[in-house]
């Protein structure tokens, strides 16, 4: 009989963004086996219709199921807002989603507005409206759609002038003096954290949902008694990408090494 504890965890995103989530998950659970799927061939998701994103998400999860996984993480706020209910209905394994980390931002109890940077779809979907309704009385929340930033990361640009220009474009019309925190509501933006912080100023807290997602995944695996309990001396990871150009696999590895280094882990892929 297959021991479910030894099965892989499937993690997907419209492309490179979910790699930042994968890094936090690896840091927390280094012995697990992972299959990462980046849908760069269809990125960005944020400008598609929710129906299109649902169909793409289902195709990826069917692929994970065919590989035999014990849980799936939609490491993408956009796919979560469009597809999480359908995915949970379709599969009988845990499906972990992501949403902009508004709750942790509110809990900081800082004085000033909260900016939520995310894709147009995430900010327009019902899931986020509900979340916003819950907290809008406590603090002013400013929605900032950032359509170009996903493309920058997909092109491997997360530092330098072009990155700064892209972020500056998103912040147009925002008075940073009034902002206390910025929620990175798209997993791609996590790679731009330092530049976002440089432009916003050191008084502004930058918050993402990656660590929260990693802990949530671990709790769910633990509750279901499917946490892997054997140690590995190397990282067990397969990376797939819908863009058949091998460059995207190379970029995935580069971004993962970069994120793991930020976590204090030196892993050469």
Catalytic residues: 76, 186
22, 24, 64, 78: residue in contact with ligand DGL (rule CB under 6 A): 78
The residue among 186 and 221 lying less far from ligand DGL, judged by its C-beta, is 186
Contact region with ligand DGL (CB under 6 A), list: 75-83, 124-132, 171-179, 248-256:
75-83
If one asks whether residue 38 binds ligand DGL (CB under 6 A), the answer comes out as: no
Least distance CB 42 / ligand DGL (angstroms):
8
Residue 74 sits in the site that holds ligand DGL (CB under 6 A): no
We find the least distance from the C-beta atom of residue 225 to ligand DGL, in angstroms, to be 30
Gap between the Cα atoms of 16 and 43, Å rounded: 9
Window 218-257: residues binding ligand DGL (CB under 6 A): none
The residue among 7 and 44 lying less far from ligand DGL, judged by its C-beta, is: 44
The single residue listed with the structure tokens 């530092």 is 159
Q: Is 150 in the site for ligand DGL (CB under 6 A)?
A: yes
Quote the least distance from Cβ 48 to ligand DGL, whole Å: 8
Query: By CB under 6 A, which span of 3-11, 37-45, 64-72, 155-163 interacts with ligand DGL?
Result: 37-45
Q: Partners of 55 in the beta sheet?
A: none
Residue 180 binds ligand DGL (CB under 6 A): no
Q: Which of 135, 123, 24 is nearest to 78 (CA)?
A: 123
Q: Is 77 in the site for ligand DGL (CB under 6 A)?
A: yes
State how far the Cα of 45 lies from the Cα of 150, in Å rounded to an integer: 9
From the list 70-78, 164-172, 191-199, 242-250, the region that binds ligand DGL by CB under 6 A is: 70-78
Q: How far apart are CA 211 and CA 259, in angstroms?
A: 13
Cα gap 99→266, rounded to integer Å: 29
Residue 13 touches ligand DGL, criterion: CB under 6 A: yes
Q: Which of 139, 181, 187, 241 is in the footprint of ligand DGL by CB under 6 A? A: 187
DSSP states of 173-226: T--GGGEEEEEE-SGGGGGGHHHHHHHH-TTSEEEESHHHHHHHHHHHHHHTT-
The answer to whether 259 contacts ligand DGL (rule: CB under 6 A) is no
CB of 61 to ligand DGL, least distance (A): 16
Query: Which residue, 263, 248, 254, 264, is CA-closest to 13?
Result: 248
Determine the length of the chain. 269
Choose among 226, 183, 179, 187: nearest CA to 204. 179
Exposed e or buried b per residue across 38-74, where buried means at least 16 C-beta atoms within 10 angstroms of its C-beta: bbbebbbbbebebeebbebbeebbebbeeeebbbbbb
Q: Which residues bind ligand DGL (CB under 6 A)?
A: 13-14, 17, 43-46, 76-78, 119, 122, 150, 186-188
């Amino acid at each position: 009989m297959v021991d479910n504890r030894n099965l892989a965890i499937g993690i997907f995103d419209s492309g490179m963004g979910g790699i930042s989530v994968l890094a936090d998950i690896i840091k927390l659970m280094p012995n697990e086996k992972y299959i990462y799927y980046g849908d760069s061939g269809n990125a960005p998701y944020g400008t598609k219709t929710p129906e299109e994103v649902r169909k793409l998400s289902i195709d990826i999860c069917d692929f994970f199921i065919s590989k035999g996984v014990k849980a799936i993480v939609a490491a993408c706020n956009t796919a979560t807002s469009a597809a999480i209910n359908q995915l949970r209905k379709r599969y009988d394994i845990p499906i972990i989603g992501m949403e902009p980390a508004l709750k942790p931002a509110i809990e900081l109890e800082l004085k000033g507005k909260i900016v939520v940077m995310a894709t147009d779809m995430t900010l327009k979907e019902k899931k986020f409206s509900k979340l916003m309704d819950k907290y809008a009385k406590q603090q002013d929340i400013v929605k900032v759609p950032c359509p170009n930033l996903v493309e920058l990361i997909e092109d491997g640009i997360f530092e330098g002038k072009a990155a700064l220009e892209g972020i500056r474009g998103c912040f147009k019309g925002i008075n940073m003096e009034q902002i206390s925190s910025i929620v990175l509501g798209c997993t791609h933006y996590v790679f731009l954290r330092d530049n976002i912080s440089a432009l916003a100023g050191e008084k502004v807290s930058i918050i993402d949902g990656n660590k929260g997602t990693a802990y949530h995944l671990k709790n769910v695996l633990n509750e279901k008694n499917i946490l892997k309990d054997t140690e590995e001396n190397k990282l067990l990871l397969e990376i797939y990408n819908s863009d058949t150009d091998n460059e995207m696999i190379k970029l995935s590895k580069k971004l993962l090494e970069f994120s793991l280094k930020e976590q204090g882990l030196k892993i050469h892929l």
